[in-house]
């Protein structure tokens, strides 16, 4: 029997739901019994990761994420995933990793950022400059910058003012993707599309959509038209790391573009 996959939901809630759906979509199954065992636990008590990194919230989200993982492990999950890029900031991730190690279990915790970068390096070895679209917390914690530089790849990040716009496109209470996702509001799409174009103008040969909200909506697919550039999603990396017949999945949550062709790496 395949190992049970455990997904921490609530970071945001739709990210976990969408990862679950993508695992189903990418499983080679002709009948119910061919599918993988999956547990999805949505925990709305997990504090906002960016608020913590910016000093707006005193509670480290890692503790509540760890409680979610403990619940999943106790229910039998042995392949674990946190579909939130910002949660992989060391100040949060280290708490989770240390706590899980203390459980003394054989569960595998997937690192979506490392998996995304490793996939990109393996399949697109000639890319040397990568743009990053993500929350302000992910950018300030240099989650992707550190992972990329270990492979000799230069990160292209938005300016401070443009990053504020990107963050609003995700978080704004009236028109941000977290608040209005069905459908995504045109203003949010415009901001993200313009941001991607600026990264390309700044020399990016590929773009990582390092936020679970952006790839979930695929809101840039029809509008990002810069031939010769790549875009790379981080969530399909998570699907690939799940065992058995899941194809093209691992553990991040974003998208990578190459020219006008989206690579389908995000969940």
Active site residues: 84, 211
Closest to 29 (Cα-Cα) out of 2, 52, 50, 9:
2
DSSP character string of 197-245: HHHHHTT-SEEEEESTHHHHHTTTTTT---TT-EEEESSHHHHHHSSTT
Other beta carbons within 10 Å of 254: 33
Whole-angstrom distance, CA of residue 182 vs CA of residue 217: 9
Closest to 69 (Cα-Cα) out of 44, 39, 113, 90:
39
Q: What would the two tokens of residue 173 be?
A: 């209470």
């Amino acid at each position: 029997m395949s190992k049970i996959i455990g997904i921490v939901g609530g970071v945001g809630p739709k990210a976990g739901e969408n990862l679950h759906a993508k695992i189903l979509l990418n499983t080679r199954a002709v009948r119910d019994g061919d599918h993988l065992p999956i547990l999805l636990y949505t925990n709305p008590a997990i504090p906002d990761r960016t608020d913590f990194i910016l000093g707006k919230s005193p509670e480290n989200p890692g503790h509540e994420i760890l409680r979610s993982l403990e619940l999943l492990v106790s229910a039998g999950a042995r392949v674990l995933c946190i579909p939130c890029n910002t949660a992989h900031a060391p100040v949060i991730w280290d708490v989770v990793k240390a706590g899980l190690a203390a459980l003394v279990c054989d569960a595998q915790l997937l690192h979506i950022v490392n998996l995304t970068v490793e996939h990109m390096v393996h399949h697109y070895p000639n890319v040397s400059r990568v743009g990053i679209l993500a929350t302000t917390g992910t950018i300030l914690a240099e989650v992707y910058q550190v992972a990329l530089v270990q492979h000799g790849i230069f990160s292209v990040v938005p300016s401070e003012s443009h990053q504020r716009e990107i963050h609003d496109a995700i978080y704004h209470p009236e028109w941000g993707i977290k608040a209005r996702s069905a459908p995504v509001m045109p203003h949010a799409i415009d901001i993200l599309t313009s941001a991607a174009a600026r990264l390309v103008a700044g020399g990016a040969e590929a773009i990582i959509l390092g936020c679970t909200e952006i790839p979930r909506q695929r809101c840039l697919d029809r509008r990002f038209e810069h031939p010769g550039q790549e875009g790379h999603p981080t969530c399909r990396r998570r699907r690939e790391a799940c065992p058995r017949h899941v194809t093209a999945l691992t553990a991040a949550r974003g998208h990578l573009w190459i020219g006008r062709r989206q690579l389908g790496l995000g969940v």
